[in-house]
Structure 1
Amino acid sequence: MPTPIKMPALSPTMEEGTLAKWLVKPGDTVSAGDIMAEIETDKATMEFEAVDEGTIASIEVEEGAEGVKVGTVIAMLAEEGEDVEEAAKAAPSGDEKPDEKQGAAEPEAKSEPAKAEPRESAEPARVAEDDGTKAPAAPKDDSGARIKASPLARRIAEQKGIDLSTLTGSGPNGRIVKADVEGAKPGAAPAKDTAAPAPAPAKAATQGGDLDAPYEAQKLNNVRKVIAKRLTEAKQTIPHIYLTVDVRLDALLKLRGELNKSLEADGVKLSVNDLLIKALARALQRVPACNVSFQGDELYQYTREDISVAVAAPSGLITPIIRDAGRKGLAQISTEMKELAGKAKDGKLQPHEYQGGTASLSNLGMFGTKQFDAVINPPQAMILAVGAGEQRPHVIDGALGVATVMSATGSFDHRAIDGADGAQLMEAFRQLCENPMGLVV
């Protein structure tokens, strides 16, 4: 019996994805573990591996297709000894909802709260409800036979007013694919009882709506959509309280220089950010009341400091995690952070590398930003925002002098963390930065 290959849930929050690239074609033989496609999730572009062996009978969703629901059949796999052409015919019609044969769609999956231990594997994401953008029902020709066409081709044909019965498919077994429809001219179809819907008007790149300024519309990628959704939720539902301290960095910068000299032979070069990650983790050890998250009727108290670090990637902001940062050495933190940041910028982070975390750090100092308030990353209860270190007038041993000073602002979920506890954390962070030997013991 042919096996349908479905759009996988590659992260707990994934409801739909973009099929960025197919690495196989109909007729190719695959084995378990072979890379079949690249899929853009709500966090990164990830490789999709085969779990069974067989022959690719058909491709049901063309590469480049956006908004493909989790559970949608994207290809058909013929098992050993099966007829490939027959397996291709077994593909579900485009008017079926994802996982329709397995029962009604369940409610939308919700992301689980961060826990002290990372989840080794996530439950398969449940199928989200249809949003009205599915492909139209499979058309039929004059004899009543079903016209073979991919869901994407049917959707494009409906938008352009093209009669699929007038086209010749170039796909497997004469299947009509995206390229066939895009090359056809609208209006060439014979008249029907009901007129085909007019194509949606293109947005003019001249007037910016009420702003009355030239603009060009750009589609949001999956990462940007998730950022918008989660941060809107955070600002609407989490009562933020902000606490700022000024931190003298001279001793920390001196220690960094000495450590880098001693680590040069090992190829390790510590950044200021590496030391700040460690300082936040050690501060959470000293003030465990801030290493928590609000969970309705419960408060989760974490026993490990997993620090999510904001990284600017081409697709948008993402936060890889340094796990158990309070117990790791500075050299290990530095090595892990460089590796994670590189993978984040290449879109190659794996789910376990960015899911979870008990607190976050966002550093905009390298851009010259002096001070800012960051938005909490739920379900975490705090995030530390650090600005640039700069020469400022500062009281040193009772006398006015000049010192390298950095402003750091903690954003706290006031449902979980009282102002006094947040102030203790900020003071512990300041002391660790100004007396940095506590970061190397």
Structure 2
Amino acid sequence: MSYKLQAVRGMHDLLPGETCRWRQVESLLIQVLETYGYQEIRLPLVEKTELFKRSIGEVTDIVEKEMYTFIDKSGESLTLRPEGTAGCVRALIEHGLLRTPGQKLWYQGPMFRHERPQKGRYRQFHQLGVEVFGVPGPDADVELIAIGWRWFRRLGIEKKLELQLNCLGSLGERRNFREDLVAYFSGHLDALDEDSLRRLKTNPLRILDSKNPAMQDLIEGAPRLLDYLGEASRSHFQGLLDQLSALGIPYTINPRLVRGLDYYSLTVFEWVVPSEVIAQGTVCAGGRYDTLVEQLGGPPTPAAGFALGMERLLALLADSKTPVQAPHLYLIRVGEQAQEEGLKLSEWLRDVFPDLRLVLHLGGGTFKAQFKRADRSGAQYALILGEDEVTKGYVSIKALRDSQPQRALSRDELLVFLNQLCKQPN
């Protein structure tokens, strides 16, 4: 029996119909980022394992169970990136970019986590990350949230999403909270599930993020981190809330919101949707990580950022009418002379109209067969070049999406026609 080659479990292909939608959405997201002054940085897919152990935390689920880690031929431990912030910070430290304050960066691409595949959750998934460095005040947090709010309004999905906020305070404030939290849950060991019992010893704040319905009443009665905040943390959080209100961005304070990465401090936020809309409810999440740069060997640098899950965003957009950029023209060539003339015509038209979406038929075939291919391509018009057209110096054009009659156009008339066609939206 022959072996059937398939994609690795939890990793998926994006086929041509899907990539068109992805490109359109990515273009909109990037356009918004550029209007805010953010610049692209491109980062490696593979980093030294130690980078993620030092940044994410060795007792997190990601490092303990989910990273794709391997030993290369030189004996060095390397890891496929499970998230983008650590690599971005490493790059800024390595290249001395933190000497310029106010760095605003974005990146996109695949991330990798070896977790149980399910709808909305993959082992290779795609994120668009946004980071800002050197700004200690809540105005950086506000701008990041405002970018997300503008994205979702441009995409027409802002009413499907809820912005949830929390403040994790400083390291010292969390340490005091952690002690009381451990004491509280230790008094209810019989009510904790397997994951929570493990987290109680390693990362007890993550118990608050449990999705187990049987534990929700217990979690609701747990101490609240907001009650442990000092004056500086409270002032930062209130400044964030005041500025969001001034911008008219609605939010909900969720005192149980924590992030699965150790490096967060002060502000954390998530854009979430109801579970019945998509399988995994968090579409976009982030916050501040003011100690991470120093933790990785750089100078003390306040920082904040977030990541947008592209698969989850596209799932949320599945019912929206995103226009598909079909070809303007499909060029049919019939006859020996038309083969070379059609090739020259197609390249000439691309020179004259750089934005023209023109598909040149390849592989020969009868007129009927080529016309069927033209129709299936979704093109607006078939441009026909046969022996008569070559001899008499004109082209025929036939509308494929309505009942306009076929017309014969000279080269000059074709240029006028295409000039108008390329100005039309989509």
Q: TM-score, normalised by structure 1?
A: 0.29
Q: TM-score, normalised by structure 2?
A: 0.30
More helix per residue = 2
